[in-house]
Structure 1
Amino acid sequence: VDTNAVIITNRSTPEMTDLLKHMIDIEAILKMQKIVNDGKMTPRY
Structure 2
Amino acid sequence: MRGFFLFGAGFVNFFLFGALPLVSAFFCGFFRAKLWRLGFKGRRC
Task: Identify the TM-score tier after normalising by the shorter chain.
Answer: 0.3 to 0.5
> What TM-score does the superposition give when structure 2 sets the normalisation length?
0.34
Look at both structures and tell me which one has the larger radius of gyration over its CA atoms.
2
> What TM-score does the superposition give when structure 1 sets the normalisation length?
0.34
Task: From the two aligned structures, give the one with the greater helix fraction.
Answer: 2
